[in-house]
Structure 1
């Protein structure tokens, strides 16, 4: 049988090391699906329940694996459904290649069924590279560039292949005019920093007496160097949410997350510092950074497009984080006065004690913070965690104490609902020998998480470690938006939009042959985690949480507090529960702690 364009496509992906393709079928990619059949399903086609979930699974795979991932969809509606997941990749700087079908070339421009102008559709989300293959000789160059550019720009790219082109006999580009040959592979350079800037930046950092370090996901491969720099400078280290797993939380000077979901130590460190070193982060909320003119700034980032955006730095150094820090370290003087770091460490110690106290506050029926706190002390050392957008992201940011080896991610910049479960699925395909844990609100589960449990059912027996735990915060409320209405809008919750129908999530999981655990008593939370992490199959924890526990950060503004109070006065039907639980929780910050 002749080799078709679709056959060659799969072969080329395999040569690039692509062994998984996340997708959903449709007649716009029938030629490619037939090629999967001829190739013995290699690369392996992973069937999601929806194209958006296929894109999210590819994003999760790329985030936890570190290499470009591929998703696939049919023409028209299938291609459209990929967009949200691809925007998630674009905003979080993740390499994903989308391969989509299109109507046959003979029908294009004729208002044919499912004909959508896909080049225009993907023009923004895949702005770094989107191309349509119209003749077989194009294919090697187009697919090679899509993969290289996705990895080089840490961004989504898109390849469109019309249905009839997929079935054409493949012929390679020839040695003729207007033919474009191509080749496999890429060797990445180590991007060296400018030596003069390194010396000057070191002098600036040496002159600072209260140094704050902010790291993001770009510092993940530079953990050892960040530790050494923090030790030399007597600094504290705050972490942007996507960089939560870049440095362990059990280091005494790590102040934890920063921003709307951040910690008090991170907030106070930025408020009081005189020097700021930012490494591998484009953290957007400038109100949580030092005041203009308060601190002298240095930023290190591999992406020149993302540097100098958030603070008036004196030195913006384009380089790989680890390489730049290794060049910087010999020029740094070890600070003799350790009082700044020692005070930060006391603040961090008190913070973790406060978080434990807040998690143990009684609620009706379960304090959602306890769900995270009980896992934190039981986290497997190689766990992979995901959190959906919503109130679960608050507790993920503040209650989970990551140790060395634990990985985690969420939708950082798009903050879209829905990726918690598919991220965990993508992570399991990247590392089938590691446990995965997803946190999702009941709104996210009803949106699409329940359907993706069917994907878990379909594939979990292929994973060498079968543990994938989905913990659902079951409170029958779209809780994050409810709190945003109260704190930012000063209006009571609009129940017609916020209330959710009650669903038996554990029962649904059990109907699929998974383990379902109902948790309605606070004292059962810890044992439920132990059972889920010791079982031989994926598990859903259906946890009845109290919607009145406020996810308000410890540095909430007076205006936010006033707005919440006004919302209560205006007739919020949870007013008494909110006030009672809010006072019980907040008072933990002011009760005596171990250090006296």
Structure 2
């Protein structure tokens, strides 16, 4: 049967489980949008800016582990995708980017909206091709999808408009089944190294998601305190006595103390980049599914290519009677007491620490949390002490402001669980137009704006570097009224005595909602050192 290349592309995406494509229609990408319109299984999500679409796809892929898609038309539409795609690249999220291009017979003649997209997308992509011959389109799209899923990264296809409209026979079976990977490693060696230690510490990252129960049992067996990178937040409840908190400048004092006394470091699903916070001169076991991450930043005693789940299921060290984590409970209590001084302060303007603590108390048990980048990241890292395992996502590697609303949107499309975004006023202003997308498609995301009228983290950075604060003040609208004008629920919070009521109203809303919380701009996070 004869199809257009655009129809064929959409059918291949469907075979690989793609449920939706984020983007803005127009010009050279219109044939693909028309093919999506006719598709019974792939939906087009019209975002307000292609960056928001790429961020939504990145967070959807990170949450589900399945392939997500975003598109942009020739020229500016495709250029706008790049920031969100870099987030996917650095988070190892499988995303396919489909970019329109001018007619193939006009490429190279400086046509309007002509951009060398292959050159532009070369760094962000692990697969970067242009479909030239319609006869090879099905195979090319299949290879792009497989590469993205197997390589956990961005695939990019350039699609000239005339090629998209070309007719072609579809006579190949799409090979959407991926090969099974079996991990084999020296279990006995791992057990020997762990058995020889008396004060092991476990550092977890995003690779430990989904292994909460096994991790809890393993850590208890060897008496190991658990510290986490930001991507590992939410894997275990922070009320667990084994969990010391985060590590680094976003971390907790008990984590530094635990590592300072450790005689073995076990890194599970983490390629923690700030090695100055890691102990020197002790053996390290590193477990990661990506071989290139092993020993990338520091020497390790034992490199294990494996999922965290497979490692925890396979390695059965002797149970330690003397539990190292029990010796750290006083340090943990002192740290929590220090944090609680500001968390329990009943003041106006509202201390952001108190706002985060109250949000944590009101969280629905199945909520998914998306945190934007900025000073809000530090408040969440220190003061959002989760009482059960939660999915927690942020732009931890690219560190892009504005990821909160778009990221929450992508996760919400892929889940029926409540999604709550915690964002600063600077980050919210960058992508707040995607609240219109949430309203249009009835995605009931809940957004808490930490409104201090300031780029707070940049202010701290400037001062730490010995500079005066400059260029950080923000002139903000009333975000609650703005949300109402978009069709969302808008709540303005200025009085701390109304805080619990406002948060509950936000969470219980049956539509997209924004809580504009005016906070004290002069608060600084507690030092973890």
How much does 1:22 deviate?
0.8
Match of 1:63 in 2: 62
Deviation at 1:423, TM superposition (A): 0.6
Match of 2:466 among 490, 493, 505: 490
**C-alpha deviation, 1:405, in angstroms:** 4.7
Distance in 1 separating the partners of 2:51 and 2:177: 29
CA positional deviation for 1:348: 3.0
Distance across 2 between alignment mates of 1:422 and 1:553? 31
3-state SS, counterpart of residue 8 of structure 2:
helix
Q: Which moved more, 1:272-281 or 1:355-364?
A: 355-364
2:402 to 402, 412, 418: 418
Counterpart in 2 of 1:456? Answer: 438
Shift in Å, 1:370: 1.3
Q: Which residue of 2 aligns with 1:229?
A: 218
State how far apart, in whole Å, the 2-side matches of 1:223 and 1:81 are. Answer: 37
C-alpha separation in 1, matches of 2:437 and 2:473:
27
The answer to whether 1:399 aligns with 2:398 is no
- Answer whether contact 1:190 1:323 (CA < 8 A) is retained: no
- Partner Cα separation in structure 2 for residue 285 and residue 136 of structure 1: 47
SS state at 1:142 partner: helix
Q: Does 1:191 align with 2:182?
A: yes
Alpha-carbon deviations, 1:303-353, whole Å to 9, x = none?
101111233211111112211222211xx1111112x21122443344334
1:520 is aligned to 2:494 = yes
- Note the alpha carbon deviations across 1:145-204, whole angstroms, 9 max, x for none: 21111111111111111100000002247xxxxxxx663222442432323xx2122111
Matched, 1:333 2:318: yes
Partners of 1:262 and 1:398 within 8 A in 2:
yes
Distance 1:78 1:33 in 2: 14
Alignment partner, residue 564 of structure 1: none
Residues 287-436 of structure 1: pairs in structure 2 closer than 5 A: 287-290=276-279, 292-293=280-281, 295-329=282-316, 332-338=317-323, 340-361=324-345, 363-431=347-415, 433-436=416-419
Q: What is the alpha-carbon distance in structure 2 between the residues aligned to residue 362 and residue 377 of structure 1?
A: 16
Q: Quick check: which has more Rg, 1 or 2?
A: 1
Q: Is the 8 A contact 1:144 1:182 kept in 2?
A: no
- Indicate the SS of the match to 1:203: helix
Q: Which residue of 1 aligns with 2:120?
A: 121
8 Å contact 1:191–1:323 — kept in the other structure? no
Match status 1:481 vs 2:480:
no
**2:402/2:429 contact within 8 Å kept:** no
Q: What is the alpha-carbon distance in structure 1 between the residues aligned to residue 134 and residue 386 of structure 2?
A: 49
The residue that corresponds to 2:230 in the other structure is 241
Q: Check if 1:264 corresponds to 2:262.
A: no
Specify the alignment match of 1:570 in structure 2: none
Per the alignment, residue 562 of structure 1 pairs with none
> Counterpart in 2 of 1:543?
517
Distance 2:235 2:136 in 1: 40
CA deviation after TM superposition for structure 1 residue 367, in Å: 0.4
* C-alpha distance after superposition, 1:267-314 (max 9, x if no partner): 211122111000110110111111x21x21111111101111233211
8 A Cα contact 2:8 2:170, kept in partner: no
Partner residue, 2:166: 168
The unaligned stretches of length 5 or more in structure 1 are 174-180, 556-596
Give the whole-Å Cα distance in 2 for the aligned partners of 1:102 and 1:417.
29
**Structure 1 position 542, deviation (Å):** 0.6
Would the aligned equivalents of 1:74 and 1:102 in 2 still touch at CA under 8 Å?
Answer: yes
- Alignment partners' CA distance in 2, 1:436 and 1:353: 30
Matches within 5 A, 1:46-57: 46-57=45-56
Cα separation, 1, equivalents of 2:96 and 2:330: 46
Distance in 1, matches of 2:376 and 2:159, equals: 39
Partner deviation per Cα, 1:32-90 (whole Å, 9 max, x = no partner): 122223336x4110111100000000011112222111111111111111111111111
CA distance in 2, matches of 1:469, 1:352: 28
Does the 8 A contact of 2:12 with 2:174 survive in 1? Answer: no
Size of the alignment, in residue pairs? 529
- For 1:37 and 1:334, how far apart are their aligned partners in 2? 58
Aligned counterparts of 2:38 and 2:512: Cα–Cα separation in 1: 32
Please state whether the residue corresponding to 2:56 is helix, strand or coil.
helix
Q: C-alpha separation between the residues in 2 aligned to 1:398 and 1:182?
A: 51
CA distance in 2, matches of 1:257, 1:26: 45
For residue 273 of structure 2, the aligned residue among 279, 284, 293 is: 284
Counterpart in the other structure of 2:206: 217
Kept in 2: contact 1:5–1:136 (CA 8 A): yes
Structure 2 match to 1:21:
21
Q: Which moved more, 1:313-322 or 1:394-403?
A: 394-403
The aligned residue for residue 506 of structure 2 is 532
Deviations for 1:568-590, whole angstroms, at most 9, x for unmatched residues? xxxxxxxxxxxxxxxxxxxxxxx
Asked if structure 2 preserves the Cα contact closer than 8 Å seen for 1:253 and 1:348, the reply is no
Aligned to 1:510: 484
> Over aligned residues, Cα RMSD in angstroms?
1.7
Query: Match of 2:211, SS?
Result: helix
Work out the CA distance in 2 between the residues paired with 1:300 and 1:56: 28
Q: Report how far residue 369 of structure 1 moved.
A: 1.2
SS for the counterpart of 1:532 is helix
CA distance in 2, matches of 1:403, 1:360: 17
2:430 is the counterpart of 1:447:
yes
Match of 1:39 in 2: 39
Between 376-385 and 216-225, report the one with greater CA deviation: 216-225
Correspondence for 1:92: 91
| Consecutive unaligned residues in structure 2, runs of 5 or more | none
How big is the shift at 1:240?
A: 0.9
